């Protein structure tokens, strides 16, 4: 498995990018989102499987929609034709 295709890695990198765009430190975001700083660090490094509740807290702290958190994240495990079939529903 390619690390960059791992969904947890992609989510972590997206959070790190959005956090840096807001010029927030890990501690700033952790405090604002009311989550543990070490957990957030692990999350940004793709070592955690965040719950929807945690992702929502992060999105609120970053002042973005939850959907914005997922922009650019791809699921490399689905065949491309299956992705197209599901998008028709």
Between the alpha carbon of residue 86 and those of residues 41, 56, 82, the distances in Å are: 33, 25, 6
Cα separation, 41 vs 83, whole angstroms: 31
* pTM listed for this prediction: 0.79
Cα separation, 82 vs 34, whole angstroms: 38
pLDDT reported for residue 79: 59
Cα separation, 43 vs 40, whole angstroms: 5
pLDDT of 88 above 80: no
Domain CATH code at residue 22: 1.10.260.40
Task: Give the domain extent around 53.
Answer: 3-87
Cβ atoms of 14 and 73 within 8 Å: the answer is yes
Q: Total domain count for the chain?
A: 1
pLDDT in tens, 25-82: 999 999 999 999 999 999 999 999 999 999 999 999 999 999 999 998 876 665 555 5
């Amino acid at each position: 498995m390619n690390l960059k295709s791992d969904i947890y890695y992609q989510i972590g990198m997206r959070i790190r990018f959005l956090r840096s765009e807001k010029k927030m430190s890990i501690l700033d975001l952790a405090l604002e989102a009311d989550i543990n700083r070490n957990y957030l660090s692990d999350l940004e490094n793709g070592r955690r499987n965040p719950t929807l509740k945690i992702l929502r807290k992060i999105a609120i702290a970053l002042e973005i929609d939850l959907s914005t958190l997922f922009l650019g994240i791809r699921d490399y495990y689905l065949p491309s034709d299956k992705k197209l079939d599901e998008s028709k529903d």
